[in-house]
Each structure stands twice: as C-alpha cells, then as structure tokens.
Chains A and B, each alone.
Chain A
Amino acid sequence: MRTEELGAAVVLSVTGEVDMATAPELEESIKAALGRGPEVLVVDLSGVSFLASAGMSVLIGGNQLAGDRTGFRLVATGSATLRPMELTGIATTFSIHATRDQALSGG
C-alpha cells in the first residue's frame, strides 16, 4: 500500500489481496489519507488480485467518511475488483474509473 500526494489529490495504491485479514490495513490507510483533508482521494485498486466483501465494506465506509469534503474515487477494472462490486450492486454508489489519470481528472 502506497500513498502519494499529487497537488490537492491523494492517491492510495493498493496491491495484493484484500480480504478479512488485510481489510483493516486498507481501512487505516484510507482513514489516514482522508485525515490529510485532500480535495480528492483516489483509491487505486489496479494492483488488487482479490477483493472480498470485507474489503468492499471498507470502501463503502471510506466513501461515507469522505462525505462532501473529499471526492472519493476508485480505479478498478476487470474481474478481480470491478465484477464483485457490480454483482453486489455497490458499484453504482462509487465514482469508478478505468485508469488513475481518468480518476484524477474525472469528477
């Protein structure tokens, strides 16, 4: 997990597997990133090979915590991350982008 500041945006790059065991680490990283008060937080899931519902709960919580203060955006494509979010119907509650650049520039 890596956090970068790009102007008014913070990008959190997540790699590996997000399951019951690792979801708390993602939660801490998202909270820490939101604590910096960025205009935009991009959570880049491009490097995630497995996303369980425990991880999705953390993303839903992050989106709620961001509220109106920070734009909460995800980078997710493909069967490991986007498909599970679509199947549970939560994909529509997020701002999801195919690439990090699109997430940084898109609203």
Chain B
Amino acid sequence: MNQGQRQLDDVQEGDLHVRVPAVAGRLTGLRHVLAEWAERAGLAPEDREALTLASYEAMANSVEHAYVGQLQGVLDLRAVRDHAERRVVVTVTDYGQWKQPPADPGTRGRGLPLIRGLTPDSAIAPSAGGTTVSMCWPLPD
C-alpha cells in the first residue's frame, strides 16, 4: 500500500479528501468546495480567503509542472481539522516531478511566494515520488 492510499483510508468525518486529474479545468470547482469546507471548519474570513488562494496556487503548481511530458497525472487535496493543535491543515500532493523555481521568475513564478505569504506555517516536500505542499491555519478559539 502506498502512502497516498494509507492517507486516503485515514479520512475522518468532517475532513475533505479529493483526488482529481491534474488539469487546470478541475481547480476552479475544487477551490469552491475548499472555500465551503473552510467556512464549515470555522476559520476566520481572512484565513478562509488565504487558505483558498494558497491551496489553489499549490494545486496550480502541480497542474503546471508535475506531469510535464506525461499523459496524465492526479493530485490529492486534503483538508483536515487538527483539534489538538487548534488548526486546520491543507495538503496538496502530486506524484510527478518537482520543478526548481528559476532565480529570476520573469512574469511568472509568483505561486510559491504567494503560498509563503498567505500561510503562517507551510512546508514543501519534494521527493522522487512526488511533491507535497502542507499549509496550516489557526482555528479560532
């Protein structure tokens, strides 16, 4: 069983886990689902907006870079409430390759700085098997 499958089995009630083809056309709808989830999770409006945009950028990165030259790939979007830590955690995982951002982004390449700016706590873990972007926001008291 691969790691993706194990995490898939760990989904708790109230959590969100969606696997979609990594294509741009799927991201708009997914973003709206995520925004609704964040509202149900009780996040402050400003954090909801940040979560939606940062998660979108992480997914857009997977769509744009992970599966270049391949026929098809998927991405997993997970959003969970971590009650013990009073936070929500969003992860975006793809199973393709990581593209190192160029030193000079030119007109493009604002996705990663945007994720870092919008997220109080974020981590990007590229590996041979794919890339996971993890982002956390606090739950209000």
- Looking at chain A's contact residues, is the secondary structure mostly helix, strand, loop, or mixed? helix
Q: A21-B28, A87-B114 are in contact. Are A61 and B107 (CB under 8 A)?
A: yes
Query: In chain A, what residue has the closest Cβ to B24?
Result: A20
Instruction: Tell me whether B114 and A84 are in contact (CB under 8 A).
Output: yes
Whole-angstrom CA separation of A19 from B28 in the bound complex: 8
Chain A: interface size category: 20 to 34
A residues in contact with B53, CB < 8 Å: 50, 52, 84
Residue B60, interface by CB 8 Å: yes
- Smallest CB–CB gap between B94 and chain A, Å? 15
A residues in contact with B109, CB < 8 Å: 53
CB-based A-B contact count at 8 angstroms: 53
- Smallest CB–CB gap between A27 and chain B, Å? 11
Residue B49, interface by CB 8 Å: yes
Residue A9, interface by CB 8 Å: no
Instruction: Tell me whether B27 and A19 are in contact (CB under 8 A).
Output: yes
Query: In chain A, what residue has the closest Cβ to B49?
Result: A79
- Smallest CB–CB gap between A61 and chain B, Å? 5
Instruction: Tell me whether B56 and A52 are in contact (CB under 8 A).
Output: yes
Q: A42-66 interface mask toward B, CB cutoff 8 Å, 1 = contact, 0 = none?
A: 0000000010111011001100100
Instruction: Tell me whether B113 and A21 are in contact (CB under 8 A).
Output: no
Instruction: Tell me whether B28 and A17 are in contact (CB under 8 A).
Output: yes
> Which 9 pairs from chain A and chain B are nearest by CB?
A87-B117, A53-B110, A60-B107, A20-B24, A88-B110, A53-B111, A61-B107, A57-B108, A57-B107
